[in-house]
């Protein structure tokens, strides 16, 4: 289960230092092929992706290329992009290509195939030694900070290392014996690096990222589940996004 293994290897390259070399045309085509087979969270939302040289965006972190994500605006479209994008994030790590969810970047092309720009992932070919060696040294909320109730320790202790587009880690999981309820949760005053008006937008992408990582962890643990999506949006700190009924 290579995607699960990449959770431990990937990291967010906030600066791309010591870029190994330029990506070949063949490698870029392989990335585009991988993008085409990513599974959506919601199948009824139109999505488009485009790989471009870094100079076609405002991202200036030392990357060589960026993946641009476009979508039609429907309920859950931001979570859907996070879910799809995290699959390519893990794929890139498997090819020793460093990546960064870059929330504040802008592309030259704000619309593509009739769809609106959502977010980008910056990337570059990096030396293998620059990837994470010990994930548990990363700064992440502790298990007790993201969980209500008891159980599922092994699953949630890995899922809490999900990347976050604005570094606010807005996931909170309520655990019952056979049910996991996932909330988009931001404590008052906590908004990471984003302007206050952008927090909700990027937090919804983050929850999509988390759902993919969480499902990989459940499947690795041998759990079979049925997923329901809710997408609550309220003024409350906790908004229910998904519930997982464990069937075996």
Domain end position, chosen among 95, 130, 165: 130
To the nearest whole number, what is the mean pLDDT of the chain? Answer: 93
pLDDT tens column, 142-168 = 999 999 999 999 999 999 999 998 788
Residue 26, pLDDT above cutoff 90: yes
Same domain, 7 and 120: yes
Q: Are residues 123 and 148 in the same domain?
A: no
Residue-wise pLDDT tens digits, 66-106:
999 999 999 999 999 999 999 999 999 999 999 999 988 89
Q: What confidence tens digit (pLDDT) does each residue in 186-203 have?
A: 776 555 556 666 888 999
Nearest 5°: phi and psi at 202?
-75, -30
- Given 130, 149, 164, which residue is the final one in a domain? 130
* Residue in this structure with the two tokens 């499902």, named with its chain if needed: 215
Kindly state whether residues 115 and 10 are assigned to the same domain: yes
For residues 23 and 110, membership in a common domain is answered with yes
Residues 121-149: pLDDT tens digits?
999 999 999 999 999 999 899 999 999 99
pTM for this structure? 0.95
Least confident piece of the model among 1-10, 189-198, 226-235: 189-198
Its domain, for residue 44, covers: 2-130
228 strand-pairing partners:
243
Burial zone of 73 (CB within 10 Å; 0-12 exposed, 13-18 middle, 19+ buried): exposed
- Say if residue 226's pLDDT is above 60: yes
7 and 26 share a domain? Answer: yes
42 and 100: one domain? yes
């Amino acid at each position: 289960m290579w995607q699960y293994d990449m959770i431990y290897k990937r990291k967010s390259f906030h600066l791309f230092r010591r870029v190994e070399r330029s990506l070949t045309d063949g490698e870029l085509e392989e990335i585009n092929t991988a993008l085409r087979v990513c599974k959506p969270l919601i199948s009824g939302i139109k999505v488009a992706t485009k790989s471009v040289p870094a100079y076609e965006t405002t991202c200036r972190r030392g990357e060589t290329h960026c993946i641009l994500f476009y979508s039609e605006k429907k309920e859950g479209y931001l979570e859907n992009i996070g879910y799809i994008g995290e699959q390519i994030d893990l794929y890139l790590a498997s090819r020793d290509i460093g990546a960064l969810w870059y929330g504040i970047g802008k592309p030259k092309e704000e619309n593509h195939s009739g769809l609106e720009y959502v977010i980008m992932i910056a990337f570059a070919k990096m030396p293998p030694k620059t990837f994470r060696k010990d994930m548990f040294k990363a700064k992440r909320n502790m298990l007790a900070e993201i969980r209500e109730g008891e159980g599922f320790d092994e699953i949630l202790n890995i899922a809490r290392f999900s990347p976050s587009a604005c570094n606010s880690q807005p996931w909170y999981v309520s655990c019952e014996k056979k049910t996991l309820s996932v909330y988009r949760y931001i404590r008052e005053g906590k908004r990471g690096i984003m302007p206050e008006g952008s927090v909700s937008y990027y937090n919804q992408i983050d929850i999509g990222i988390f759902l993919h990582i969480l499902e990989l962890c459940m499947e690795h643990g041998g759990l079979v589940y049925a997923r329901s999506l809710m997408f609550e949006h309220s003024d409350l700190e906790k908004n229910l996004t998904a519930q997982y009924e464990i069937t075996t």
